[in-house]
Amino acid sequence: MKFDHEVLIIGGGPAGLSAALALGRMGRSALLCDDNRPRNIASSHLNNFPTRDGIHPAEWRKLVRKDLEKYNTIHFFEGTVLSVENSGAGFIAKLSSEKVLNFKKVILAYGVIDKFLEVPGYKELWGKSIFHCPYCHGFEVRGSKIGLIGNGEMLFHMLPLIYDLASDLVVLTNGKAEFKEEQKELLQRKKIRLIEEKISGFKYEEEKLNSVLFENGEELNREALYSLPSFPFQLKSQIGENLGCEKDQFGFYKVADRGKTNIEGVFACGDNVSPAHSVLLAAASGGMAGAGVVHELLNEKLRE
């Protein structure tokens, strides 16, 4: 079977770009497909990345693309991968350009879609005054009046991080709290106010949050909010599922070392394999998946 490229990389974010870098360094041919839907498109900066702390996400991606230019085995497609089928000898992918191409391996690096609270202003403030990660955005709002939106057991995994950031912390469950008695007692002991009213909207000016509005007419002054994700996560594509890749209870692909899925020849990396979401960790995951693919390709070449 004739292959157009050795590897298909689906997703042009930190994971996909890092996978491409690993492949390029080892002389493997790959097509990186990017439909230009970066998860951090709303953010004006990315943080916690050595040498690039505070850089604009688009500028970071531009710099990585520049790094990849010297590797003539790495190619780009600006568009969507519509489908991928297992051909037995490899994979057949149909692109939004109507091209049909053949590959030996596939790397799923397309990440997740954030689910927004369906109230006015939430989407507009996302990545600006409403955040998902204190490592990514906590330093900039330290000492602020902060609200933590979430409910159930998972809230108490995030609580210690936000508690130490805030000068005044309020937990917003957006409905009846689903906490154990000892969890409620912890909130009371630490003087963390609990509001169980439904959120109806926000008051804000451009990117700056002023207050949270509730259905009962009350208003809570806040300067920043953190919002827990709702599980399972929604992935940006169903290509992995269609190929038969297994997922866990949180919606992530199950992977072994170096990002290998249960489907032979298919690897996954970045935000679609772990709840630890940041540019740095996604890039590391992509590098490992790229290395895993290189290892398989060169082992196969040696045994031809």
The full DSSP string for 150-219 is --STTHHHHHHHHHHH-SEEEEE-SSS----HHHHHHHHHTT-EEE-SPEEEEEEETTEEEEEEETTS-E
Task: Report the distance separating Cα 257 and Cα 120, nearest Å.
Answer: 42
Q: Name the residue among 292, 260, 264 with its Cα closest to residue 273.
A: 260
Given 3.50.50.60, 3.40.50.2300, 3.30.830.10, 3.30.750.24, which CATH number is that of 5-113+231-302? Answer: 3.50.50.60
Assign 247 to helix, strand or coil: strand
Task: Report the distance separating Cα 99 and Cα 101, nearest Å.
Answer: 6
The full DSSP string for 25-56 is HTT--EEEEE-S--TTTT-S---S-TT-TT--
pLDDT tens track for 167-210: 999 999 999 999 999 999 999 999 999 999 999 999 999 889 99
Q: What is the pLDDT of residue 1?
A: 77
Task: Report the distance separating Cα 168 and Cα 195, nearest Å.
Answer: 14
Given 3.40.190.10, 3.40.50.2000, 3.50.50.60, 3.40.50.1000, which CATH number is that of 122-227? Answer: 3.50.50.60
Domain boundaries, the chain: 5-113+231-302, 122-227
Q: What value does the mean pLDDT take over residues 30-55? A: 93
pLDDT tens track for 104-161: 999 999 999 999 999 999 999 999 999 999 999 999 999 999 999 999 999 999 999 9
pLDDT tens track for 56-86: 999 999 999 999 999 999 999 999 999 999 9
Same topology between domain 5-113+231-302 and domain 122-227: yes
| pLDDT over 90 percentage in the chain | 95
Angle between helices 14-25 and 279-302 (to 10 degrees): 30
Q: Name the residue among 106, 82, 124 with its Cα closest to residue 32.
A: 106
Beta bridge partners of 195: 172
pLDDT tens track for 261-300: 999 999 999 999 999 999 999 999 999 999 999 999 999 9
Q: What is the pLDDT of residue 17?
A: 98
Under the banding of pLDDT at 50, 70 and 90, the label for residue 231 is confident
Q: In this structure, what are the phi and psi dihedrals at residue 62, rounded to the nearest 5 degrees?
A: -60, -40
Chain centre distance of CA 156 = 21
Say whether pLDDT at 42 is over 80.
yes
Task: Report the distance separating Cα 121 and Cα 100, nearest Å.
Answer: 41
